[in-house]
Amino acid sequence: MSTSSGRDGHPGPSATNERLAGAVARVVRNGNCSGCGACALVSSRVSLDLDEDGFLRPSVAADCAVDAATDRREARLFRRTCPGDRLAAPRDPRPHDSATFGRYVQAWEAWAADPEVRFAGSSAGALTALSTWLVESGRAPSVVGAASDAERPARTVPVRITSRQEALAAAGSRYAPVGTVAGYDPSGPAPLVGKPCEVSAARQLNEALGVPDAASPIRLTFFCAGTPSQRATESLAAALGVPADQAVSLRYRGNGWPGEFRVVGRDGTAGAASYEESWGRHLGRNLQWRCKICPDGTGGDGDISVGDFWRADENGYPVFDDADGSSVVIARTERGRALVEAAIAAGVLVARPVSLDAVEAIQPLQRTRRETLLGRLAGRLAAGRRIPRYRGYGLLALAARHLSANLRAARGTRKRSLAPRRTEGAADAVARVRADS
């Protein structure tokens, strides 16, 4: 199923004479930008900043003149790379297919063998263990990831990991905007750790530049429900007694599983909220639009993708009690499988094969978002928004199997798309944290 079109009166993706600024603005204006930052790789005229809603958004420098041919070439490259403009599922052969997780080679339940790494990691430190091993074994000089900003710890920035210490400092999910793919070099040696949209942008950039995927750096990714606004981090920190600009450290989770949101201020004030409170009641309610219409929240474009292997209660719902971390690790490609197997053999990961049917039950958001995606896209169109062009995700077949859920999703999405956007402010967060305590 391929999706396309819209009616905002601007040139469509097929326009061959479109300029870069117009192409970028079209994605942003329609709520299709995920803030991945790949556009900054396409042209040095692009920079990304937080917008007033607290999401990373690109702009094209107007004072930096380029000739028309260059401008059109950059616009074409942008349209082939940007996952807010188009996204096509990878076509290489893979033995297994799952309606929720897409195509894959092999899956395991796994955790970092090093207990310090397992404890520090978001779910079980698998990505930190792999990053550490890649750099310490000399397989890669560095790994691109994301971490708390040393100068403004409430912010998140792309980093280059070159040692175990740096990998540990970058461990743990950061539920805030950051564009790690900006540090990606298709012909370089550094593997990329990034959200599914970031590794998709990297794969599409390879394709657009004619770089064979097998010759490009390894892509490590994780399951992603979506990127919350930076304002949501700020209002939660303030509600916990620490204004974000006074924070000397801010973690979202990790240091246990799932671990807690924890912020410490300059004067020693510390505030903490459980994962259920911080993600479930606050951060996860302030996501950008592109994430709500994401066709690939489980990293089909990575070589390896990692998610939480939550335990389930008697109703099959995930249990978020603190425990020793456990991850599902999915090899999407043969080179991904070879890397996981080498990491197991080297004693870096502990793993046992798992069926993704067991994982589907404890990832309800990922399952529902895919099942109702066609309805959500229809709702966006009905609200007058352009939508990205998606190909190869089987959305029509899923919608046919879940017809009434898709009709509800279409109606709800249209209504929410037409409502004025509102990111929860500090006062709401204070009220919510007080009501919950």
Nearer to ligand FAD, 227 or 278 (CB): 227
**How many other C-beta atoms lie within 10 A of the C-beta of residue 280?**
13
Among 57, 103, 174, 203, binds ligand FAD (CB under 6 A): 174
Which of residues 121, 186, 271, 300 is near ligand FAD by CB under 6 A?
121
CB of 113 to ligand FAD, least distance (A): 13
Q: Which residues pair with 329 in a beta bridge?
A: 108, 306
Q: Pick from 58, 254, 295, 375: which binds ligand FAD (CB under 6 A)? A: 254
User: Residues binding ligand FAD: what is the number (CB under 6 A)?
Assistant: 37
- If binding is defined by CB under 6 A, does position 195 make contact with ligand FAD? yes
224 is an interface residue for ligand FAD by CB under 6 A: yes
Q: From 63-71, 187-195, 263-271, 420-428, give the range in contact with ligand FAD by CB under 6 A.
A: 187-195
In the numeric block, the tokens 């279409």 are attached to 410
105 binds ligand FAD (CB under 6 A): no
What element of type H or E holds 338? helix 334-345
- Quote the least distance from Cβ 224 to ligand FAD, whole Å: 4
Beta carbon nearer to ligand FAD, 55 or 222: 222
**Concatenated DSSP letters of 38-79:** THHHH-TTEEEEE-TTS-EEEEE-TTS---HHHHHHHHHHHH
In the stretch 273-312, what mask flags binding to ligand FAD with x, by CB under 6 A? ---------------------------------xxx----
CB of 174 to ligand FAD, least distance (A): 4
Residue 235 lies near ligand FAD (rule: CB under 6 A)? no
* 175 binding ligand FAD? (CB under 6 A): yes
Q: Quote the CA–CA distance of 123 and 154 in Å, as a whole number.
A: 21
- From the centroid of its chain, how far is CA 319? 22
Q: Which amino acid is at 391?
A: R
Is residue 222 part of the contact set for ligand FAD (CB under 6 A)? yes
Question: Which of 20, 27, 48, 170 contacts ligand FAD by CB under 6 A?
Answer: 170
Whether a cis peptide bond, with omega within 30° of 0, leads into 258 is yes
> Rule CB under 6 A: which of 148-167 touch ligand FAD?
156
What are the CA-CA distances from residue 212 to residues 13, 42, 111, 209, 372 (Å)? 24, 18, 31, 9, 33
For residues 124 and 109, is the Cβ–Cβ distance under 8 A?
no
How far is Cα 365 from Cα 250, in angstroms, rounded to an integer? 26
Q: Report yes or no: 304 and 336 within 8 Å, Cβ to Cβ.
A: yes
CB-wise, 133 or 386, nearer to ligand FAD? Answer: 133
Give yes or no for residue 178 binding ligand FAD (CB under 6 A): yes
Is 209 an interacting residue with respect to ligand FAD (CB under 6 A)?
no
Provide φ and ψ at 241, rounded to 5°. Answer: 100, 5
CB atoms within 10 A of CB 143: 29
Q: Does residue 227 bind ligand FAD (CB under 6 A)?
A: yes
Residues in contact with ligand FAD by CB under 6 A are 121-128, 131, 145-147, 156, 170-175, 178, 180, 193-195, 222-225, 227, 254, 306-308, 327, 363, 365-366
